[in-house]
Amino acid sequence: MPCISNDSTASSVPVLDRQSLRPDCGNCFALCCTALGFSRSSDFAIDKPAGTPCQNLNSDFSCTIHDSLRPRGFRGCTVFDCFGAGQSVSQDLFQGLSWKADPGTAKDMFPAFKVVRQLHEMLWFLAEAAGKTFDPDTSQQINELRRAIEDAMGDLQQVLALDVGAMHGRVRSVLMEVSEEVRSAYLAAGDDHLDAELVPGADLMGRKMKSRSLCGADLRGAYLIAADLRGCNLSGANLLGADLRDARLGGADLSKTLYLTQAQLNAAHGDALTLLPSELDYPAHWLNS
């Protein structure tokens, strides 16, 4: 079934350049490889405590096994996306002074990275919401939230003192408003194709849904691990926080989904026929396999 909706983009909110929310590893002090910890698992070959450099980190902040992360058991590194927080903390909050040049900076730099990553993720979603809402009140709310987040990120002490949970709650509320607005445009087109099982947080692990129309589905937080979504149309579907690990996305239309991230794509399997939003990239492992 084709998905029908008024999906043109219009908003009075100036569009935030989402390119600034993409990782720029060349301007980052490898904060994901130091600040964060990980446990030995199918995604990481080793245990690494938070706040310590990974054993594979080079002195110039590059990764010594960058070209063979997956075969060496570091799939998690190829999935992670900092939303541009790494370069923002390294260059803006710490003016290019690394934790290596001044080890005393680490005690604030690493916690700040964790906070800024969450704030950048919120900005990423708000930018998308701004481009999709037609409601001037919602646009205004988005603008105010963006300004509040950008102001908070201008000062290290503000970043460290920020109530991230409260900010997250405010952002989530407006994201859901836009989700309802967008999804209702699909569902109002006479769509009765959605099953009762397609609900937020649904357990759809391994589910075979090949070539189905999932337009306008509210799949936020759904467990789509290893689900077969090949050839599906997910236009207008809310994928906020959906777990797409090992989901099969070959030939699926994801070009008009809501709240899809690069990390979700990196964790999934697709191919050159999968349609993506213009801001997101085809993961290298999709095209090499």
Q: Which of 79, 64, 165 is nearest to 119 (CA)?
A: 165
Identity of the residue, 58 or 143, whose beta carbon is nearer to ligand SF4 in the bound complex: 58
> What residue has token string 């777990």?
243
What number of chain residues touch ligand SF4 (CB under 6 A)? 8
Which 100-139 positions form the footprint of ligand SF4 (CB under 6 A)? none
With respect to ligand SF4, which residue has the nearer C-beta, 54 or 232? 54
The smaller minimum CB distance to ligand SF4, of residues 54 and 122, is found at: 54
Query: Which ranges in 34-188 belong to alpha helices (H)?
Result: 75-79, 85-87, 106-132, 136-152, 156-161, 164-187
Residue closer to ligand SF4, measured from CB, 57 or 205: 57
Kindly state whether residue 33 participates in binding ligand SF4, applying the rule CB under 6 A. Answer: yes
From the CA atom positions of the chain, what is the Rg in Å?
20
56 belongs to the binding site for ligand SF4 (CB under 6 A): yes
What character string, x for contact with ligand SF4 (CB under 6 A) and - otherwise, covers 61-100? --x-x--------x--x-----------------------
Let me know: does 102 contact 285? Beta carbons within 8 Å: no
Which of 183, 185, 181, 232 shows the shortest CA–CA distance to 211?
232
Q: 262 and 281 in contact (C-beta within 8 Å)?
A: yes
SS3 (DSSP) at 270: coil
Question: How many Å apart are CA 223 and CA 220, to the nearest integer?
Answer: 9
Smallest separation, CB 65 to ligand SF4 (Å): 6
| Cβ proximity to ligand SF4, 37 vs 154, nearer residue | 37
Which residues, 6+ apart, have CB-to-CB distance to 76 below 8 Å? 38, 41, 43, 44
Stretch that binds ligand SF4, among 52-60, 127-135, 146-154, 185-193 (CB under 6 A): 52-60
Q: Does 54 bind ligand SF4 (CB under 6 A)?
A: yes
Question: Does residue number 266 form part of the binding site for ligand SF4 (CB under 6 A)?
Answer: no
**Residue ranges binding ligand SF4 (CB under 6 A):** 33, 54, 56-57, 63, 65, 74, 77
